[in-house]
Amino acid sequence: MNALDAVATPPRGRPLATIDLDRTLIYSAAAIAEGAPDNAAAAALSATARCVEIYDGRPQSFMSPAAMALLSELVGVAEVVPTTTRTMEQYRRITLPIGTPRFAITSNGGNILVDGVPDVAWSRRVADLLGTLAVGVDAVFERLEADAAGAPWLRTMRIADGLFCYVVVELDLLPPQVVPAWASWAAERGWNVSRQGRKIYVMPDPVTKQLAVDEVTTRLVNRPSSSYAAGDGVLDQPMLVGADAAIRPRHGELEELGWRHSNVAVTEGRGLAASEEMLTWLLTRAGTMVDADEPDKSALAPQMLGAGDEVLRSSTIDRSIPNEGLR
């Protein structure tokens, strides 16, 4: 190879795996039960689940032992980037079994943590982007407060990391016109509204998880050979679509919406089983679980889902990993 070739073909780094946290990688006790077929199964899953987050002195989030082992294995072969809408403070409550990752994305892309420390240059870039919008986060909060302050359906509302707003509501009491009114108000001002369970987010349009994923990609010494993503929510959509291939669980917001995309596989299982399945899928794509006698890589090509397509087949899953939850 001559010098010109070397310039034309820079070395490729390890695959990139960007993974949403809540209801993708980690699960509340309620989410564990929701993914189980019956009460006995839910109790069995809860009994073996490992706590990865304590909040107010109580266990808050869990992973299955198998998922923890799979995640540790994945870190050995891919650049794993936890990618969450949580604020930095909320993210730091979580103890993943992988130490402090080189990069983590919090605040829905608003912050990039490098070795656990928020990156100042990225924060400046995000502030510049927010500055281009018709209204700032304080004005958004005031608009929400105009409806929410003192309302019986309001549990709490916050400005998160100075970047976006979220409102936690009692869904049973929430008048149906509130969220659509916020959505149309926000859309005219460069913001967007989405709901995940009882949490309603109002986010700035220009800042997404994918924007931060693009930034992380440019910062890796060697550009990743490929990129994969996993996530369950509407706020994960740009990241799922932006990856070379992605997977989402058969639960959560995107499942409730029936969202399908040709680039995004869907698990067979739900709950903790789905988390194990997604990690197995990521390991498979990272190339480590291809059997030596596998005829060719096309046999492992993602079962991309178009409308009516079949779900991810069990043939893509290496049975050498003990993983009862996969079925």
List interacting residues with Mg ion (CB under 5 A).
Answer: 20, 22-24, 232-233
State the nearest-atom distance from the C-beta of 152 to Mg ion, in Å.
28
**125 versus 260: smaller Cβ distance to Mg ion:** 260
Token reading at 289: 């679980």
Cα–Cα dist 195/197, whole Å: 6
Contact 59, 51 (CB under 8 A): yes
Q: Radius of gyration (Cα) for the chain, nearest Å?
A: 20
**79 versus 232: smaller Cβ distance to Mg ion:** 232
**DSSP character for 83?**
B
Length of the chain: 327
**23 versus 195: smaller Cβ distance to Mg ion:** 23
State the nearest-atom distance from the C-beta of 324 to Mg ion, in Å.
24
Burial 296-325 (b: 16+ CB within 10 A, else e): eeeebebbebeeeeeebeeebbeeebebeb
Q: Beta 111-114 vs 103-106: how paired, if at all?
A: antiparallel
Token reading at 268: 């067979």
Token look-up 């490729």 returns: 12
Token look-up 């043939």 returns: 315
**119 versus 236: smaller Cβ distance to Mg ion:** 236
**110 versus 233: smaller Cβ distance to Mg ion:** 233
State the nearest-atom distance from the C-beta of 277 to Mg ion, in Å.
15
Q: How far is CA 59 from CA 23, 285, 288, in A?
A: 16, 32, 33
Contact 79, 220 (CB under 8 A): yes
Token reading at 108: 């829905």
State the nearest-atom distance from the C-beta of 276 to Mg ion, in Å.
16
State the nearest-atom distance from the C-beta of 192 to Mg ion, in Å.
17
**130 versus 230: smaller Cβ distance to Mg ion:** 230
**215 versus 236: smaller Cβ distance to Mg ion:** 236
State the nearest-atom distance from the C-beta of 223 to Mg ion, in Å.
27
Measuring CA to CA, which residue among 31, 55, 58 is closest to residue 45?
A: 31
**86 versus 285: smaller Cβ distance to Mg ion:** 86
State the nearest-atom distance from the C-beta of 177 to Mg ion, in Å.
27
Cα–Cα dist 204/192, whole Å: 6
> Cα-Cα-Cα-Cα dihedral of 291, 294, 297, 299, to 10°?
-120
State the nearest-atom distance from the C-beta of 20 to Mg ion, in Å.
4
